[in-house]
Amino acid sequence: MIINPKRVLLGMSGGVDSSVSAILLKNQGYEVIGTTMKLFEGEIEGSCCNVDSTKDAKRVCDFLQIPHYTINFKDDFNKYVIQDFINSYKNCKTPNPCVECNKYLKFGAMYKKAMELECNYIATGHYAKTQYSKEYKRWVLKKSNAGSKDQSYFLWNIPKELLEHIIFPLAEYESKDTIRKIAQENNLKVANKPDSEDICFIPNGNYKEFLENNSDIVPKEGNIVDSSGKILGKHNGLYKYTIGQRKGLGISNSVPLFVLGFNKEKNEVIVGEEKELYKKEITVSDINLLLVDEIKESLEVEVKTRYSLKTAKASIWQEENIIKVIFDEPQRAITPGQSAVFYVGDIVLGGGKIV
């Protein structure tokens, strides 16, 4: 197989980010091929993968005179993303489907397709950065210049051997307004298209209804208890609650109560006061290290435990297939199933799933 060193397969959702990425890549002299992934059956309004979005992506490609392919990845998406989503809730964990999609679809199956099309690179409209580091003598994943919109958090689980074959055209841009302006200047009709914020395969973000309609998860009454085991009320399904939740508990108490966790075996939701939500130590499994091959001694890093949160200083060390984390200051509402991502400065060291 002869790989074209300037050919890149660009994942396109029909939105403004990936559309502007096509313009930027083309202007940089790349031979761009656009692709949109078909990930699930049916139509979901506002999804990045519905018929309208696919049509938008194709229109952009036609306008820019680059080829566009729609590729069916429904089986892979169901296997790696939807089933993981369902199994996580079955086990009282809160999943992050974008992390799984990035690993197995956007930087897994799509990269295989890129090889078939003799592309040297794959690209997406993520706000992140890849760069060769002389200090670490390897390609690294870094934060972009987008500040709070940086998306490196969602990318910790991609295969590290792909980093030198990934381009993030939006890496240097600080503002979404700038991206929309580029789209307007290039006469793209998607310039003012709203961002898609819900989980792509769940209508209106109603994950509870999705679970009930697409799995064997059903409402099952159980007790709401405090951390000592005292029964305070009733719930109608563990999957309907998240750690840190305050509203909707149906409990009258002298001080506000929050969901602290779950006892799956006893079918109990455990609640307590806000001070009980804070933890200083966590364990992380399913680890993927990008910057090093293993962590041989304790490291001082910054850790992000949710996309919407700021990083927190911590010490980490590896024990075989897990990483232990001790924060400098206790952190609120740490949630099993979510990702803990480790940063050294603006470089992603790696990450894992909170146990």
Active site residues: 101, 200
In angstroms, rounded to a whole number, what is the distance separating the alpha carbons of residues 249 and 257?
A: 8
Helices (H), 141-202: 176-185
Maximum alpha-carbon separation in the chain: 71
R_g over Cα of the chain:
22
- CA-closest candidate to residue 102, choices 44, 175, 166: 166
Nearest Cα to Cα of residue 280 among 323, 329, 324, 313: 329
Residue that has been written with the tokens 């502007």 in this structure = 20
Q: Which residues contact 70 (CB under 8 A, 6 or more apart)?
A: 35, 36, 37, 38, 54, 58
- Residue 12: Cβ within 10 Å count: 32
CA distance 146 to 167: 16
What residues have CB less than 8 Å from 330, skipping those under 6 apart? 278, 279, 280
- Cα 94–99–103 angle (5° rounding)? 140
Q: Give the span between the Cα atoms of 209 and 240, in whole angstroms.
A: 10
CB contact at 8 A, 168 and 144 = yes
Residues β-bridged to residue 69? 35
Q: Which of 131, 80, 199, 181 is nearest to 346 (CA)?
A: 131
